[in-house]
Amino acid sequence: MRLPVIATIALAAILSIGIAAPAHADPALAPTTTTLTVTPASARPGAVITVAATVSGDDPTGYVQIYQNGAELVRALLANGATSMTISGLQEGSVTFTAKYLGDGNNAPSPLSNAATATLSTKANTTTLFGEPRPAVAGIPSQIIVVVNGNGPTGTVEVRSGSTVIGSLAFTSTPDAQASILGVGISFPTAGTHTITAHYSGDDNNKASDSDPIAVAVGKATSNTTLTASPSTPSAGSAMTFIATVTGHNVGGNVEILASDTSLGTAPLNSSGVATLTTSALPAGDYSVTAVYAGDANNSSSPSAASTVTVTEGASSTTLAASHASTTVGSDVTLTATVAGFTPGGNVEFFDNGVLLGAVALDSSALAQLTTSSIDVGSRSITAVYVGDASNNTSTSVATIITVAKAASGTTLTAAPGTHTVGSAVTFTATVTGHDVGGNVEIFASGTSIGTALLNSSGVATLTTSALPAGDYSVTAVYADDANNTGSTSAASTVTITKAASSTALTAAPASVAVGTAVELTATVTGAAIAPSRTIAPSGTVEFFNGSTSLGTSAVSSGVATLALSALEVGSHSITARYSGDARNTPSESAMLTVTVAASATPTPTPTPTPTPTPTPTPTPTPTPSPAPAPAPAPAVPTTTTPTMPLASTGSDVLPVGIAAFLLLALGGAALLLRRRKADAAR
């Protein structure tokens, strides 16, 4: 059964019913228009509807005729160009309202206004509205204000971001209430600008409806980062584990670990917001370690509080390898040391039985190599000592044993000059090769040592000698050995020493004698000159000859040999001296020397006359030339009882014979004195 329409009209002024509008419009009047609105446009049956009219013109006054579905409903008095009225009790259905201004003394009536429709239904259309949301942060619940207009709406409101439901609320409403105001709790999944709508599901009296969309700016959640390090006091090169925990809204992304502002690396967060970084890259030292979360789409960045980590020096280890286990002194051996530790740097020192061989810096592969030829002879204990650095302790390798044998030496010999005379200086030069040769070289001539000489820094030894007798010699140089070298003997060299040429000079004192008078023969033998003012003193014997007849042999002493003779016959004798030679000097023969032996008469023995003193002569003035005086008479000879013996062959008297004998004795004495002086000079 259709309910009758009951309209209750509230007028803003007293209505005058039955006042007719002017029949004709006055051209002098102002034109007018009427605008009509109905609120709400949709409502449940019986709800209060407000109809409002606004008239434009020249300050219009008077009335406005309201029409409902084309039929006059009421006239309403204008006030300030507008009028309104409320109507209730309208039945379900659509009602169309129009209005027309009736005019006054200054304004012409208006044409019919626009049509405004009110729809009344038991399932009324509803309008869902949003209030401005509170400041939103990703992941943190927020409340959105939703207003549902309708006929006591109940049911569910969902808040959606796009097509995703981010919040919902089931609600009830007071019966006959026109609206429900809801606070819906929502949580935005991500930061950024979200366009959201509210959807009302409807109920028996209200239709479903959607709100207009609004944009909501959602900020990033505030993150928080904490850091733990284990162990807190590691050694350099050992593993350290850093664990960073980040809280926020669905945190993701990476955490970077910094040690005193130097990055150690980054690690991704897992689904629990935990990032783990393990490293052994920290050198020794004290570090302030932090974890820095960079943030992501939904969370802000955050650093952890600083943690102090002390890294101590780590243990190193050194191994040693040698290129040869046995070698010869002076040969190259390469020693290779390998150091394990935390990126070790610095030097490795190499030792031979504790004596430093050298130091070498580690390369980028932690290797140090030393090539040396300085390892001594014997069984040597070789070690490598790593001196350490800021992050690594020192370490020493296990000893490597290297057996070093002596080097084989080689000896050569030369002799200079090429021709050698006995007594002349002969220089022998021995050259020894090997490893740092030192010590002495001994020179042997046909197996007999003639001396030793010290090697110089060049391995050369020189021996000069003049002691070799004449002969042919097989000469060798023998190097005994030293700490680094074996002994060696040179090849034999043949050296010939020739005798020196001697010379012999002969003198006789006196060279003329009376038969039976002694004559001393003196042979002076001279060796060859081997240097200025130096000759080879001869030895041996001298044989004296009268012609080819040997007169006798005498030994040479200090270069002189003498022979006294008293048996030479009267006459002229050819005397020579023949030197026999010795080990150093050749034989030689003197030039021939003539010795004259005169016969002597046998005089009558007479007393030896007493010499008459010779008077001191008186100076004689220069004489006037006069005839030469007669010869002075001979001194008187004392008279003896021995008769004078006449010389049979000459007929001379005895005086000339005595004078001759005296002269021969004087000459012999002079010759003897000369011989002795020569002998003294030779000594």
The DSSP H or E segment spanning 95 is strand 93-101
Q: Return the residue matching tokens 């004449």.
A: 470
What residues does 228 pair with on adjacent strands? Answer: 243
Homologous superfamily of domain range 317-405: Immunoglobulins (2.60.40.10)
Residue among 96, 79, 75 at smallest CA distance from 17 = 75
Write the single-letter amino acid at 232: S
* CATH code of the region 407-498: 2.60.40.10
* CATH code of the region 33-120: 2.60.40.10
Write the pLDDT tens digit of every residue in 194-218.
888 888 888 777 778 888 888 888 8
Q: What is 474-503 written as a DSSP string?
A: EEEEEE---SSB--EEPPPEEEEEEPBPPE
Q: Say if residue 27 is preceded by a cis peptide, omega within 30 of 0.
A: no
Report d(CA 663, CA 195) in Å as an integer. Answer: 174
pLDDT band of residue 54 (cuts 50, 70, 90) is very high
Q: Do domains 224-311 and 317-405 have the same CATH topology?
A: yes
* 123 contacts 205 by C-beta, under 8 angstroms: yes
Average pLDDT, rounded, for the chain: 82
Contacts of residue 80, Cβ cutoff 8 Å, sequence gap at least 6: none
Residue among 432, 436, 434 at smallest CA distance from 407 = 434
Write the pLDDT tens digit of every residue in 460-512.
999 999 888 888 899 999 999 888 999 999 999 888 888 888 899 999 989 88
φ/ψ of 384, rounded to 5, equals -120, 130
Q: Which of 247-251, 434-438, 670-674 has the lowest mean pLDDT?
A: 670-674
* CATH code of the region 224-311: 2.60.40.10
Report d(CA 8, CA 13) in Å as an integer. Answer: 15
Write the pLDDT tens digit of every residue in 95-152.
999 999 999 999 999 999 999 999 887 665 555 656 555 678 888 887 777 888 777 7
φ/ψ of 453, rounded to 5, equals -140, 145
Output the six-digit token pair for 509.
């004192």
- 550 has a pLDDT exceeding 90: yes
Whether pTM > 0.75 for this model: the answer is no
First to last CA, the chain: 191
- The pLDDT assigned to 152 comes to 74
φ/ψ of 181, rounded to 5, equals -105, 120
Residue among 533, 435, 448 at smallest CA distance from 486 = 435
- The pLDDT assigned to 631 comes to 43
* 580 contacts 543 by C-beta, under 8 angstroms: yes
Question: What are the respective helix, strand and coil percentages of the chain, to the nearest 5?
Answer: 5, 50, 45
Q: Where are the domains of the chain?
A: 33-120, 126-219, 224-311, 317-405, 407-498, 502-598
CATH architecture of 126-219: Sandwich (2.60)
Q: Is the domain 502-598 a CATH 2.60.40.10 member?
A: yes
Report d(CA 668, CA 530) in Å as an integer. Answer: 37
- 4 has a pLDDT exceeding 50: no
Write the pLDDT tens digit of every residue in 383-433.
999 999 988 999 999 999 999 999 999 999 998 766 788 878 889 999 999
Q: Let me know how long the chain is.
A: 683
Question: What is the DSSP-derived secondary structure letter of residue 45?
Answer: T
